[in-house]
Amino acid sequence: MMNYKGGVGKTTLTANIAAEMAKTGMEVLLVDLDPQANLTLSFISIEQWQNLDRLERTVKHWYDAYLDKDEDMSLKDLIISPPMVNSRLDTDPESGRIDLICSHLELINVDMELSSRLGGNTDRTIRSNYLRVLTRLKNKLDEIKGEYDVIIIDCPPNFNLITQNAIVASDFYIVPAKADYLSTLGINTLIRHVEELKRKFNQYSRQSNDPDTSTISPHMLGVIFTMVSYRNQQPISAQSDYINQIKRDRHCFTNFLRESKTIFAHAPESGIPVVLQRKNEQQELICKEVNGMVNEIFMLSNLS
């Protein structure tokens, strides 16, 4: 899940899509790569998070192990099972589960340190340093991906090396977006940057003699519109104009996530995404939307 812009509803969408997938029986791993750690804090309490910090079990510590000590730590040691959401899922025997790799506020510094690992004196070292830094996450996720039906990464709102690590590791990406002027402006730039990354990575990969490096083809599944406001069952015209504009250039999901301040504001505190909460009429509508999105993801990706 990625978008340059923050506040577009990306984390909310990630949590709910994960919960909906787990509801249908899937084993889901969530990876929070945003230093703001909103996804992490949508599933565990601040105290639990502080405890993981003390135990050095966040994705920041995993990058640190590599940067400080060249240590090849497995991602397995970071995985936790968030209690609230999983005990809710456990009430239905058909359900799967959600595991989580937590973020850390200081992940922001990791980006700078990763950049210092790039470069070199010869073309060969530049290439091999680039590939080593960029495939860091992919290589380690490859070791554990067999244990999950799907892994969903919540990216930070930028295109720094951590985001690039996520793209290199991903088969697909989704761009959650608000239907407004500034949000729509960024989408084409974002997709262009992914294409440039892909081209450079694959060029280096082909030139390298390392049998462990392969080419990548992260595929854009589509744009998902969030915080959509309705009037007479239609998105308000201020938003539908932007939706239609993007639809001309890019694949967009037919299901949108509606705007609902009252429902989404408290969900993170409860540790349980909206689609798994007890339902009123408004929540039913949200469930339907997220369920529709998950079906679209299955269809577009042949995941199910």
Chain residues that interact with ligand ADP, rule: CB under 6 A:
6-12, 38, 226-227, 257-261, 264-265
Least distance between Mg ion and beta carbon 42 (Å) = 9
**Which listed option, ligand ADP, Mg ion, none, makes contact with residue 42 (CB within 5 to 8 Å by class)?**
none
Alpha-carbon gap, residue 28 to 113, rounded angstroms:
30
For residue 175, the Cα-to-chain-centroid distance in whole angstroms is: 10
d(Cα 105, Cα 108) in Å, to the nearest integer? 7
Q: Which is nearer to ligand ADP, 13 or 194 (CB)?
A: 13
Q: Look at residue 261 and give the partner it binds from Mg ion, ligand ADP, none, a contact being a CB closer than 5 to 8 Å depending on partner kind.
A: ligand ADP
Least distance to ligand ADP, CB of residue 67, Å: 26
Pairing of strands 172-178, 27-32: unpaired
Q: Which is nearer to ligand ADP, 58 or 135 (CB)?
A: 58
* Residue 97 buriedness (CB in 10 A; 0-12 / 13-18 / 19+): middle
Quote the least distance from Cβ 264 to Mg ion, whole Å.
Answer: 12
Is residue 11 part of the contact set for Mg ion (CB under 5 A)? yes
Told to check if 103 binds Mg ion by CB under 5 A, we report: no
Closest of 297, 189, 187 to residue 250, by C-alpha: 187
- Residue 221 and residue 249 in contact, taking contact as beta carbons nearer than 8 Å: no
| Min dist. Cβ of residue 195 to ligand ADP (A) | 22
- Write down the residue that tokens 């709102």 correspond to: 157
Pick the closer one to Mg ion by CB: 106 or 241: 106
CA atoms within 13 Å, Cβ hemisphere of 151: 24
Q: How far is the CB of 16 from ligand ADP (least distance, A)?
A: 9
List of residues contacting Mg ion (CB under 5 A) = 10-11, 38
